[in-house]
Structure 1
Amino acid sequence: MFKKVFTAVCLLGITLTISGCHSDEEKVDIYVLTAASMTEAMEEIKKLYEKEHEDVALIPSYGSSGQLKDQITQGAPAHLFLPAALTWMEELDRESVILEYDPLLENELVLIKGNHIEPDMTTLEELVADEIASVAIGHPDIVPAGSYAIQALEERELYEALSDKIIFASNVREVLTYVETGNADAGLVYKTDAYSSDNVDIVTIVGGHDAILYPVGLLEDAAETTEARDFYEWLQTEEALAIFASYGFGVR
Structure 2
Amino acid sequence: MAISPAAEQGPDTLTVSAAASLTEAFTDMESRFEAENPGIDVKMNFAGSGNLRMQIEGGAPIDVFASADQNHMDILSGEELIENSSRKDFAQNSLVLIVPATSTLNITGLEDLTAPEVDKISIGNPDTAPVGKYAHFALTEAGLWNQLENRTILAEDVKQVLVYVERGEVDAGFVYMTDAKTAEPGTIKIIASVPVSTPVSYPIAVVSSSEHKEEAQEFLDFVAGEEGQEILEEYGFTPESE
SS at match of 1:105: strand
- Structure 2 residues not aligned, in runs of 5+: none
2:88 matched residue in structure 1: 102
When residues 37 and 224 of structure 1 are mapped into structure 2, their CA distance, relative to the original with a 3 A threshold, is: closer
Q: Is 2:34 aligned against 1:34?
A: no
Contact 2:98 2:172 in 1 (8 A): yes
- Equivalent residue for 1:200, pick from 185, 188, 191: 188
When residues 184 and 119 of structure 1 are mapped into structure 2, their CA distance, relative to the original with a 3 A threshold, is: closer
Distance 2:31 2:223 in 1: 13
Amino acid at match of 2:141: E
1:8 matched residue in structure 2: none
Amino acid at match of 1:124: L
2:28 matched residue in structure 1: 44
When residues 194 and 24 of structure 1 are mapped into structure 2, their CA distance, relative to the original with a 3 A threshold, is: farther
Q: Is 2:122 aligned against 1:125?
A: no
1:232 matched residue in structure 2: 220
Q: Is 2:144 aligned against 1:144?
A: no
Distance 2:196 2:140 in 1: 9
2:66 matched residue in structure 1: 82
Alpha-carbon offset, residue 224 of structure 1: 5.1
Instruction: Report which of the two structures shows the higher radius of gyration computed on alpha carbons.
Output: 1
Q: Is 2:157 aligned against 1:171?
A: yes
When residues 116 and 130 of structure 1 are mapped into structure 2, their CA distance, relative to the original with a 3 A threshold, is: farther
Distance 2:11 2:54 in 1: 27
Q: Is 2:10 aligned against 1:53?
A: no
Distance 2:217 2:125 in 1: 32
When residues 119 and 246 of structure 1 are mapped into structure 2, their CA distance, relative to the original with a 3 A threshold, is: farther
Distance 1:44 1:208 in 2: 28
Amino acid at match of 1:225: K
SS at match of 1:98: coil
Q: Is 2:54 aligned against 1:70?
A: yes
Contact 1:149 1:209 in 2 (8 A): no
Deviations 1:168-209 (CA, angstroms, capped at 9, x unpaired): 011111111111111111100111110111221110100143
1:160 matched residue in structure 2: 146
Contact 1:222 1:229 in 2 (8 A): no
Alpha-carbon offset, residue 131 of structure 1: 3.2
Q: Give the TM-score, by structure 2 length.
A: 0.92
Alpha-carbon offset, residue 119 of structure 1: 7.7
Amino acid at match of 2:229: L
Alpha-carbon offset, residue 156 of structure 1: 1.1
Alpha-carbon offset, residue 22 of structure 1: 5.6
Contact 2:206 2:213 in 1 (8 A): no
1:251 matched residue in structure 2: 239
SS at match of 1:239: helix
Q: Which moved more, 1:125-134 or 1:113-122?
A: 113-122
Q: Is 2:108 aligned against 1:114?
A: no
**Equivalent pairs, count:** 236
Distance 1:223 1:164 in 2: 45
Contact 2:16 2:64 in 1 (8 A): yes
Distance 1:231 1:116 in 2: 42
